Amino acid sequence: MSNIELKNIKKNYGKTTVIEGLDLSVADGEFVVLVGPSGCGKSTTLRMIAGLEDITGGDLLIDDKLMNLVSPTDRGIAMVFQDYALYPHMTVYENLAFSLRLKKAPKKTIEERITAAAEMLSLTPYLERKPADLSGGQRQRVAMGRAIVKKSNVFLYDEPLSNLDAKLRHKMRTEIKRFHIQAKTTSVYVTHDQLEAMTLGDKLVVMSDGKVEQIGTPLEIYQRPMSKFVATFIGNPTINMFTCEVVKEDDTLLIKEANGVFKFTLPESKQELLSEGMKVSMGIRPSDIFISKKNDHLPPEWRIDGKVDMVELLGKNAFLTMKSNDILFQSEVMGSEFPQIGETKLLSFNLNHIHLFDDATGINLLYK
């Protein structure tokens, strides 16, 4: 098996720096997801690991061996791309056999590996078909199969599901996860889809502009985002951000929204971390804003009136767009009855779960 280590990895194209000193450890058997918006450098990082892109600076180690100058074929890796890159004139079997035949593997070995991979990926009935006669999901599985038969210790995936429709994407996501649990190959997976990242990764690397914003488990990233960028990027629906100032009244700190939407007393646990006059963004997830109930156990002063501006009904929950003092924000509510557009509702804000970001730096003030 294999571990991967990136030490202060840099990438320049001419004078343009696209990766700035990236440090990352991928443990043996770990599934690490690089996630971030388009252009942040995910594919470039993956391609440097694969050897498809030169490394400008820093060290890349696989299995504790320096790999910077080792050719892609000698790195013991397999790569699955977004465009499956199957040979159209070959059958599924021949596509799967291709790399092994190139390496002059014995016929029996080729047959055994293909049978096992086809079984694992439910491709056995399709081995004699050509790629054109397969669905998108089946083609994607053949692409995975090609990587599996190589018995590589490291799997690199670059947006492998982005050509599939939503339902198939979900199905393949589960299959990739199942494959990983079975095979326990060390994996690095690139996506800009935060849902894919959250559900697949043992560890997420949130990137922005060629830099690492935060590394952590999906739950750590969701519950303790270290910056406004991470909080906004991870989570669906997107976290609400309110422009606020910390004010003091009767020796108690309050958080005052800039447009007069609210002025809430801060929970005691957050008082000591802040001081009067600070300009902050208050992040609160839609699931922490809900229609008030008598027994919601929140202080009465954490409530405001809001007008229902839009309702997106999803079945057992709904996303409400609420309006207060011309400011729009989202609330996620569960249940069987939902309010109508135009109604005014009393909303509770669970301030125990808020994040406060320094307006100047974007850093989460609660985890300094």
Ligand X SMILES: Nc1ncnc2c1ncn2[C@@H]1O[C@H](COP(=O)(O)OP(=O)(O)OP(=O)(O)O)[C@@H](O)[C@H]1O
**Which residue has 């629906």 as its token pair?**
237
Q: Looking at beta carbons only, is 41 or 201 nearer to ligand X?
A: 41
| DSSP string for 175-190 | HHHHHHHHH--EEEEE
Instruction: Report which of 214, 248, 254, 246 is spatially closest to residue 230, judged by C-alpha positions.
Output: 214
| DSSP string for 78-145 | EEE-SS----TTS-HHHHHHHHHHHTT--HHHHHHHHHHHHHHTT-GGGTTS-GGGS-HHHHHHHHHH
Q: Looking at beta carbons only, is 54 or 128 nearer to ligand X?
A: 54
Instruction: Report which of 76, 100, 213 is spatially closest to residue 149, judged by C-alpha positions.
Output: 100
Q: Check residue 43 for interaction with Mg ion (CB under 5 A).
A: yes
| Position of minimal CB gap to Mg ion | 43
Q: Which residues pair with 246 in a beta bridge?
A: 255
**According to CB under 6 A, which one of 192, 203, 228, 270 is a site residue for ligand X?**
192
Q: Check residue 41 for interaction with ligand X (CB under 6 A).
A: yes
Q: Check residue 44 for interaction with Mg ion (CB under 5 A).
A: no
Picked from ligand X, Mg ion, none, the partner binding residue 13 (CB below 5 to 8 A depending on kind) is ligand X
Q: Looking at beta carbons only, is 54 or 305 nearer to ligand X?
A: 54
With CB under 6 A as the contact rule, which of the stretches 36-44, 265-273, 309-317, 338-346 interacts with ligand X?
A: 36-44
Q: Check residue 43 for interaction with ligand X (CB under 6 A).
A: yes
Residue 212 identity: V
CB of 40 to ligand X, least distance (A): 4
Which value, to the nearest 10 degrees, does the dihedral of the CA atoms of residues 17, 23, 28, 32 take? Answer: -60
Q: Which residues pair with 177 in a beta bridge?
A: none
Residue 78 identity: A
Measured over the CA atoms of residue 251, residue 252, residue 258 and residue 261, the dihedral's sign is: negative
Q: Looking at beta carbons only, is 36 or 306 nearer to Mg ion?
A: 36
Q: Looking at beta carbons only, is 184 or 211 nearer to ligand X?
A: 211
With CB under 6 A as the contact rule, which of the stretches 33-41, 72-80, 128-136, 143-151 interacts with ligand X?
A: 33-41
Q: Cα–Cα distance between 181 and 200 in angstroms, integer?
A: 11
With CB under 5 A as the contact rule, which of the stretches 18-26, 39-47, 57-65, 247-255 interacts with Mg ion?
A: 39-47
With CB under 5 A as the contact rule, which of the stretches 43-51, 160-168, 245-253, 347-355 interacts with Mg ion?
A: 43-51
Q: Cα–Cα distance between 310 and 216 in angstroms, integer?
A: 34
With CB under 6 A as the contact rule, which of the stretches 42-50, 59-67, 227-235, 271-279 interacts with ligand X?
A: 42-50
Q: Looking at beta carbons only, is 43 or 138 nearer to Mg ion?
A: 43
Task: Report whether 289 contacts 349 (CB < 8 A).
Answer: yes
Q: Looking at beta carbons only, is 16 or 182 nearer to ligand X?
A: 16
Binding site for ligand X (CB under 6 A): 13, 16, 18, 38-44, 192
Binding site for Mg ion (CB under 5 A): 43
